[in-house]
């Protein structure tokens, strides 16, 4: 990595994004999330913070950010969204689950992924409404 340091204008910020991604990804994959009181809410907040950071980085860099870095950011976001969706939300409220969809919609992902998340949110909300009415 040291030999590529000159390619990143702000090494601490650039490397920090990758380190934070790997830490967040491993925490989402951990099996001990069942022992937490509200695993979905906590992980949702962590993902929201990370996605906000990615979006801010994209805004700062603008068109100077290489296409492969943009693709990497999108792949990171996509993987974290999929992991967030896989967390069981048994103890979570419907509002927390809807907040997860809101978090996924702010992730810097391609439009087709956002569309897919939006369709899932509508489906989940419809299911929630049908459960309330019964």
In a domain, 21, yes or no: yes
Residue 98, pLDDT > 80, answer yes
pTM attached to this predicted model = 0.79
Q: Is residue 2 part of a domain?
A: no
| 95 lies in some domain | yes
Long-range contacts of 53-57 (CB under 8 A, 24+ apart): 53/17, 53/20, 54/17, 54/107, 54/108, 55/106, 55/108, 57/13, 57/17
For residue 85, tell me if it sits in a domain.
yes
Number of domains in the chain: 1
Q: Does residue 1 lie within any of the structural domains?
A: no
For residue 29, what are the domain limits?
8-133
What are the pLDDT digits (tens) for 38-84?
688 889 999 999 999 999 988 988 888 888 888 999 999 999 999 99
């Amino acid at each position: 990595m040291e030999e590529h340091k000159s390619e990143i204008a702000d090494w601490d910020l650039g490397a920090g994004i990758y380190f934070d991604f790997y830490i967040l990804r491993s925490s989402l994959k951990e099996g001990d999330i069942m022992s937490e009181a509200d695993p979905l809410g906590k992980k949702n907040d962590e993902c929201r913070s990370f996605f906000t950071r990615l979006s801010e980085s994209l805004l700062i860099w603008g068109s100077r950010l290489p296409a492969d870095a943009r693709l990497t950011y999108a792949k990171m976001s996509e993987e974290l969204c999929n992991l967030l969706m896989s967390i069981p939300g048994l103890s979570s409220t419907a509002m927390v689950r809807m907040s997860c969809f809101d978090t996924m919609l702010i992730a810097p992902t391609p439009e087709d992924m956002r569309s897919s998340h939006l369709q899932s949110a509508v489906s989940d909300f419809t299911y929630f409404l049908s459960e309330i009415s019964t």
